[in-house]
């Protein structure tokens, strides 16, 4: 026959065991200056604090767990599902800045730009500077997707000012400059982002894109080769063939934007003329000796938007 246990009695018994054990140890020690009774109270308080700390360490925050689940959905590009779960979260727990940001991100990626913009703007006055920065970044990505590059840069610059070491913001800012044909303006933020986040594949691919658009084939190909190598044993490489293929269409778009903008006198990059074939050579790093892989890039109309937030 199973015997039901009373959680409160079990918890009390645990406390008594801890306190009794601590008191026994105190009895073996030398008498403290303030008297034996003061020591008993102090040890009992320490035992209670230790028990409460252990309980807190094992507690699970359901709201935080749910928010993490929605974040994972968005990282997997499951924007419609994340929007449904944002509704469910607010129904169960109420609204907060974090879920409102996630809702706005989902709306931006599910063809609801007006709702996304309204929700981002409502968060610009939040007391938390990190929330403000993320809202400015969301507006920047929204405007860049609409090819409103001047407004996008303004919002991303504000996000950068609020959080100068956010590599994703810096990479988005650089990419938006490139989409606007401003390679010189993209230089500082993309180099900063690359050094701040050497293991971020999206950031590193934006650096490769910048070098390719600037005509620096050598640095770009070496970087791509490093990214295609496993970073550690039993780990996959940061990029695959699909990533490189995506880079092709992005490069075409950037080159078209650069050609559409009058080049500076001494800083015009080597851009292939329309209809020309560009070849990305991914150089092999020592000690490998396999032939370098080549990807032919034919100039053709392309379409690309800034990478989505992670």
Give the rounded percent of residues in the chain with a pLDDT score beyond 70.
Answer: 66
What backbone phi and psi angles, to 5 degrees, belong to 282? -95, 105
Is 191 contained in some domain? Answer: yes
150, 117 contact by CB (below 8 A): no
* Residue 191 and residue 125 share a domain: no
Is 228 contained in some domain? Answer: yes
CA atoms within 13 Å, Cβ hemisphere of 211: 18
Return the pLDDT at 301: 34
Given a cut of 60, is residue 192 above it in pLDDT?
A: yes
Is 84 contained in some domain? Answer: yes
Residue pointed to by tokens 């053709």:
300
* Residue 98 and residue 135 share a domain: yes
Domain that holds residue 74: 61-151
* Residue 174 and residue 144 share a domain: no
Q: What is the mean pLDDT of residues 281-296?
A: 45
* Least confident stretch, 25-34, 74-83, 226-235, 262-271: 25-34
To the nearest whole number, what is the mean pLDDT of the chain? 79
Distance from C-alpha of 193 to C-alpha of 199, rounded to nearest angstrom: 11
Final residue of a structural domain among 117, 151, 185 = 151
Given a cut of 70, is residue 174 above it in pLDDT?
A: yes
Is 281 contained in some domain? Answer: yes
* Residue 177 and residue 298 share a domain: yes
Over residues 98-146, the pLDDT tens digits come to: 999 999 999 999 999 999 999 999 999 999 999 999 999 999 999 999 9
Domain count, the chain: 2
Question: What's 73's domain CATH number?
Answer: 1.25.40
Q: What is the mean pLDDT of residues 176-188?
A: 97
* Residue 282 and residue 184 share a domain: yes
Return the pLDDT at 87: 96
Q: Where are the alpha helices (DSSP H) in 94-200?
A: 97-108, 113-122, 129-145, 149-162, 167-179, 183-196
Return the pLDDT at 6: 52
Cβ neighbours of residue 224 under 8 Å, at least 6 residues apart?
A: 208, 239, 244, 247, 280, 282
Is 307 contained in some domain? Answer: no
Is 43 contained in some domain? Answer: no
* Residue 279 and residue 172 share a domain: yes
| Number of CB atoms found within 10 A of residue 57's CB | 7
Given a cut of 60, is residue 163 above it in pLDDT?
A: yes
Is 56 contained in some domain? Answer: no
Return the pLDDT at 30: 44
Return the pLDDT at 233: 81
Distance from C-alpha of 104 to C-alpha of 139, rounded to nearest angstrom: 10
* Residue 185 and residue 83 share a domain: no
Binning pLDDT at 50, 70 and 90, where does residue 54 land?
low
Final residue of a structural domain among 120, 151, 182 = 151
Return the pLDDT at 45: 67
DSSP state letters, 72-105: HHHHTT-HHHHHHHHHHHHHHH---HHHHHHHHH
* Residue 249 and residue 123 share a domain: no
CA-based nearest residue to 306, from 233, 234, 205: 205
Binning pLDDT at 50, 70 and 90, where does residue 283 land?
low
* Least confident stretch, 64-73, 105-114, 257-266: 257-266
* Least confident stretch, 28-32, 47-51, 100-104, 175-179: 28-32
Binning pLDDT at 50, 70 and 90, where does residue 13 land?
very low
In what helix (H) or strand (E) does residue 297 lie, and over which residues does it extend? strand 293-298
* Residue 76 and residue 191 share a domain: no
Q: What is the pTM of this model?
A: 0.70
* Residue 290 and residue 179 share a domain: yes
> How far, in Å, are 59, 218, 281, 293 from residue 290 at the CA level?
53, 17, 13, 9
* Residue 287 and residue 193 share a domain: yes
Q: What is the mean pLDDT of residues 30-54?
A: 58
Return the pLDDT at 262: 77
Final residue of a structural domain among 151, 185, 206 = 151
Q: Which residue has the higher pLDDT, 77 or 24?
A: 77
The pair of structure tokens assigned to 251 is 């490069």
Return the pLDDT at 280: 57
| Number of CB atoms found within 10 A of residue 151's CB | 15
* Residue 129 and residue 245 share a domain: no
């Amino acid at each position: 026959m199973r015997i039901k246990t009373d959680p409160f009695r079990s918890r009390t018994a645990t406390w008594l065991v801890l306190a009794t054990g601590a008191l026994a140890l105190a009895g073996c020690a030398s008498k403290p200056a303030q008297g034996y009774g003061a020591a008993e109270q102090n040890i009992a308080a320490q035992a209670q604090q230790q028990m409460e700390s252990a309980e807190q360490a094992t507690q699970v925050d359901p709201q935080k767990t749910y928010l993490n689940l929605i974040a994972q959905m968005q990282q997997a590009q499951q924007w419609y599902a994340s929007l449904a779960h944002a509704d469910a979260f607010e129904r169960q727990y109420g609204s907060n800045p974090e879920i409102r940001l996630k809702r706005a991100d989902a709306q931006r990626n599910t063809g609801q730009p007006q709702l996304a913009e309204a929700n981002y703007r409502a968060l610009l006055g939040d007391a938390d500077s990190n929330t403000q920065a993320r809202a400015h970044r969301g507006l920047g990505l929204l405007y860049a997707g609409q090819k409103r590059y001047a407004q996008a840069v303004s919002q991303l610059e504000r996000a950068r000012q609020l959080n100068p070491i956010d590599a994703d913001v810096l990479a988005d800012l650089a990419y938006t400059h490139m989409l606007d044909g401003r390679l010189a303006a993209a230089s500082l933020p993309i180099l900063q982002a690359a050094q701040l986040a050497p293991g971020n594949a999206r950031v590193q691919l934006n650096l490769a894109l910048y070098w390719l658009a600037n005509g620096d084939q050598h640095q770009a190909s070496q970087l791509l080769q490093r990214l295609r190598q496993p970073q550690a044993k039993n780990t996959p490489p940061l990029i695959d063939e699909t990533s490189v293929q995506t880079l092709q269409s992005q490069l075409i778009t950037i080159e078209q934007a650069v050609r559409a903008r009058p080049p500076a006198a001494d800083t015009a990059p080597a851009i292939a003329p329309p209809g020309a074939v560009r070849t990305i050579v991914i150089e092999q790093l020592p000690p490998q000796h396999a032939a370098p892989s080549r990807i032919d890039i034919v100039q053709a109309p392309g379409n690309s938007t800034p990478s989505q937030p992670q």
